[in-house]
């Protein structure tokens, strides 16, 4: 999936019992959620914050 020019990968973490979303192009940009939608929403917010900080 691509959002705002960044690739987002979502996977299930058995260890954490939640979905984990990450942007491979940005080291350390990881979010968690109870659903794919929650994890995706969280990482989109983080990517937006990062984009605003670099302006």
Task: Give the pLDDT confidence of 29-48 residue by residue, as tens digits.
Answer: 899 999 999 999 999 999 88
- The tally of domains found in the chain comes to 1
- Put simply, whether the predicted model's pTM sits higher than 0.75 gets the answer yes
Spatial separation of the C-alpha atoms in residues 16 and 26, rounded to whole Å: 21
Range of the domain at 41: 2-53
Q: What CA dihedral angle connects 52, 40, 12 and 31, to 10 degrees?
A: 30
Mean pLDDT of the chain: 89
Spatial separation of the C-alpha atoms in residues 17 and 13, rounded to whole Å: 6
More confident residue, 52 or 14: 14
pLDDT at 26 over 90: no
Question: In this predicted structure, what is the pLDDT of residue 1?
Answer: 61
Contacts 24+ apart (CB under 8 A), 45-54: 47/3, 47/4, 47/6, 47/23, 48/4, 50/26, 51/4
């Amino acid at each position: 999936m691509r959002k705002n020019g960044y690739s987002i990968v979502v996977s299930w973490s058995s260890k954490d019992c939640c979905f984990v979303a990450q942007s491979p192009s940005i080291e350390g940009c990881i979010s968690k959620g109870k659903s794919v939608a929650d994890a995706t929403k969280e990482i989109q917010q983080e990517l937006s914050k990062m984009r605003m900080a670099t302006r």
